[in-house]
Structure 1
Amino acid sequence: MIVDTHLHVIDQTALGYPWLDGVPPLNRNFSYDDYAREARRVGIEATLHMEVDVAEDQIEAETAHVGDLAEQPDSLIIGAIAACRPESEGFAAYLERQQANPLVKGFRRVLHVMPDELSESELFRGNIARLSGTRFTFDLCVLPRQLPKAMALTDLAPDVQFILDHCGVPDIKGDATEPWRTHMAEIAKRPNVAAKISGVVAYADPESWTVETLRPWVEHTVNCFGWDRVVWGSDWPVCTLGGGLSTWVGATQVLFAGASETERAKLYSGNARRIWGLGR
């Protein structure tokens, strides 16, 4: 059974997603019910909702919306990675409010579509350091060339668990192994960073990728981080750009067919349960 650490629900009747105007294939509703129906069929038993970069004034409304979905009978949602703005003076107060909400397991600030200097400001870095001593993780979504910026953030708070999304966002379609390969090995030297095996089907050629296309990128990630520091994510509905949820789960099973049962159990659920303290 699988714990999915990266589900996005898109509900344009409830929230605004400015970035979707630039991604027509995703610019519609993707409901929790549609996800859950397919997820149960492929062995997903629980999921963490990942923030969807809603309009800034709706960040807390998104968390409340996810909370409503989590309260549905037999909901798969058992936690949320909430959006945040570490570059904001209001971050400290926001952090304090989230500490009262057990649904929130961590935070993410999307960086791969933002200027590099965003994460380099004194305010941003000081606010990341505020996560020290809390239960919260921080997801890093950065381009390969930005991985040194991510390393700088992880070094600021060595007791905070960071999660590197999407195998470091490699350009699989362009076969750009460097600087991705070298930077992945370097960031993996930080014991407070784990890697998320997710997203890769969206970075490959949607018409021609196969399991063997993905294998070197996924295997390098696992080899760098080791079996105790990898988790699995669907990145639904972004994975629909590369075949969909069932296709990605099937590809995952082939990719890791040669791993031991213990190794697969860590990747599919055990590490996620440990990192986020998940009860089920």
Structure 2
Amino acid sequence: MFIDTHLHIIDRQALAYPWLAGVPALDRDFLYSQYAQEAERVGIKAALHMEVDVTPGEIAAETNYIRGLSAAPGNLIIGAISSCRPEEENFPAFLERCKADPFIKGFRRVLHVMPDDLSEQALFRENVKRLDGSGFTFDLCVLPHQIPRAATLADLAQGTQFVLDHCGVPAIAAHEQHPWRENIAEIARRPNVIAKISGVVAYADAESWKIDTLAPYVEHVVGCFGWDRVVWGSDWPVCTLGGGLSTWVAATHALFAGASEDERRRLFSENAQKLWKLELPA
């Protein structure tokens, strides 16, 4: 059984996604119905929706849209990771509103497409510290050279659980491992950071990658973080850039064929269930 900790739904009739114009392969609707049919076939039993960087004025609307989907009988979605803007003055009020909403499990501010110094701003850091004791997680989507900045955030808010998305976004297609390897080892030293083994097929060459292409990156992350500090995610529909959901699930099974049943269970579902205190559908 998989708990998918990184599902994106794109519905351009409901919400605005300005960044899609720059990614033609993703600039279309990717609806829940498309995901669910394939997800159920490959053993995904529940999912957390990950924010899709909607226009800032629609952050709450995105959560409400996903909440509406989740209310349908048999829907796989059991919570949401909301977008946020820690660099803004109104973040404290936003955080207080979210505390009253049990559907929201955590936050993410996309950083890999933003200036490197965004997370170094005093207000950004002050607001991230406000997450301590809130019970919310904070996803870190950063490029390899930005991982040290992510580690600094984890040091500033040691009472917050951070989640490093997509194995730290390694440049697999370029066969680059440095300084990614060193930076992964360093951030893994923080007990309040876990790693998400999610959608790395999107960072490999779509025409030529094989299991052996992905293995050095995935194995390094698991080796650094350990089996109790890793969770699995699809990164659908971004994973379609490297083959799609079924391909990524098949690759996951192949990558972890040598792991024990207990280790696979922790990665595939148990760690996520524990981290976000998830109640799974019967």
* Shorter-chain TM-score tier: over 0.9
**CA displacement at 1:19 relative to structure 2:** 0.2
Q: Is the 8 A contact 1:169 1:199 kept in 2?
A: no
2:6 equivalent in structure 1: 6
1:207-243 CA deviation, whole Å, 9 max, x = no partner? Answer: 0001110000000000000000000000000000000
1:211 equivalent in structure 2: 211
* Pair 1:105-2:105 in alignment: yes
1:241-266 CA deviation, whole Å, 9 max, x = no partner? Answer: 00000000000000000000000000
For residues 259 and 159 of structure 1, what CA distance do their matches in structure 2 show? 31
2:183 equivalent in structure 1: 183
For residues 199 and 112 of structure 1, what CA distance do their matches in structure 2 show? 15
2:154 equivalent in structure 1: 154
Mark the runs of 5 or more structure 1 residues left unpaired by the alignment: none
Q: Is the 8 A contact 2:165 2:197 kept in 1?
A: yes
For residues 199 and 107 of structure 1, what CA distance do their matches in structure 2 show? 19
SS in 2 for 1:89: coil
For residues 202 and 138 of structure 1, what CA distance do their matches in structure 2 show? 22
For residues 279 and 9 of structure 1, what CA distance do their matches in structure 2 show? 21
SS in 2 for 1:173: coil
**CA displacement at 1:135 relative to structure 2:** 1.2
SS in 2 for 1:196: strand
1:23 equivalent in structure 2: 23
For residues 102 and 17 of structure 1, what CA distance do their matches in structure 2 show? 25
2:264 equivalent in structure 1: 264
1:130 equivalent in structure 2: 130
Percent identity, aligned pairs only?
66
Amino acid at match of 1:83: S
2:58 equivalent in structure 1: 58
Q: Is the 8 A contact 1:132 1:159 kept in 2?
A: yes
Aligned pairs, how many? 280
For residues 81 and 179 of structure 1, what CA distance do their matches in structure 2 show? 29
For residues 32 and 227 of structure 2, what CA distance do their matches in structure 1 show? 30
1:237 equivalent in structure 2: 237
SS in 1 for 2:94: helix
1:36 equivalent in structure 2: 36
Matched ranges for 1:65-80 at <5 A = 65-80=65-80
1:274 equivalent in structure 2: 274
1:22-68 CA deviation, whole Å, 9 max, x = no partner? Answer: 00010000000110010000000000000000001101100000100
Mark the runs of 5 or more structure 2 residues left unpaired by the alignment: none
**If the length of structure 2 is used for normalisation, what is the TM-score?**
0.99
For residues 20 and 6 of structure 1, what CA distance do their matches in structure 2 show? 18
SS in 2 for 1:52: coil
**CA displacement at 1:199 relative to structure 2:** 2.4
SS in 2 for 1:223: helix
SS in 1 for 2:221: helix
**CA displacement at 1:279 relative to structure 2:** 1.2
Q: Is the 8 A contact 1:230 1:267 kept in 2?
A: yes
Q: Is the 8 A contact 1:4 1:46 kept in 2?
A: yes
Amino acid at match of 1:43: G
Amino acid at match of 2:136: F
Amino acid at match of 1:169: V
For residues 224 and 255 of structure 1, what CA distance do their matches in structure 2 show? 16
SS in 1 for 2:253: helix
- For the aligned residue pairs, the C-alpha RMSD in angstroms reads 0.4
For residues 80 and 214 of structure 1, what CA distance do their matches in structure 2 show? 28
Q: Is the 8 A contact 2:199 2:248 kept in 1?
A: no
**CA displacement at 1:128 relative to structure 2:** 0.2
For residues 201 and 274 of structure 1, what CA distance do their matches in structure 2 show? 26
For residues 257 and 147 of structure 2, what CA distance do their matches in structure 1 show? 29
Amino acid at match of 1:189: R
SS in 1 for 2:38: helix
For residues 59 and 157 of structure 2, what CA distance do their matches in structure 1 show? 24
Dislocated runs of 4+, deviation >6 Å? none
